[in-house]
Amino acid sequence: MLNKNDHSGSERGQHMKLITAIIKPFKLDDVREALADNGVQGITVTEVKGFGRQKGHTELYRGAEYVVDFLPKVKIEVAVDDSSVESVLDAITQAANSGKIGDGKLFVTPLDDVIRIRTGERGADAV
């Protein structure tokens, strides 16, 4: 139940960011632990495929060549308060780093509001 008297978070002066991390799948556990250590309570994880500068390669299936372009990755989305952004970015970077090409990227985007569906809390209370 949204409280219509509550204005959006930015009007109340609360600033939040959405951090999107694309990482190698086997790094997921490490990143999750690092986020928990940093006080992040909720994350969303999606299986995705993609490539950056780490291009694909060719394989053979029954003698016919095919290109493996897209590599499996994991996408993590976390909503954080502005004050926590840098420490969370650090935590993810450290945990997801393997030093090899294809480690992934972090994206930081502004977040207008966050609402907890069960209680209607908004803003920092809902993060």
Measuring CA to CA, how many Å separate 124 from each of 27, 73, 121?
28, 29, 9
Residues within window 74-113 making contact with other proteins, judged by CB under 8 A? none
Give residue for tokens 């490539």. 51
Angle at which helices 28-37 and 85-96 pack, to 10 degrees? 150
Indicate whether 66 belongs to the interface with other proteins (CB under 8 A): yes
Q: How far apart are CA 43 and CA 8, in angstroms?
A: 22
Q: Binders of other proteins: how many residues, by CB under 8 A? A: 8
- Residue choice 63, 99, 100, 117 for contact with other proteins (CB under 8 A): 63
Instruction: Map residue 89 onto helix, strand or coil.
Output: helix
Indicate whether 70 belongs to the interface with other proteins (CB under 8 A): no
Beta carbon nearer to other proteins, 45 or 89: 45
CB of 26 vs other proteins, minimal distance in Å: 21
Which residues make up the interface to other proteins (CB under 8 A)? 59-66
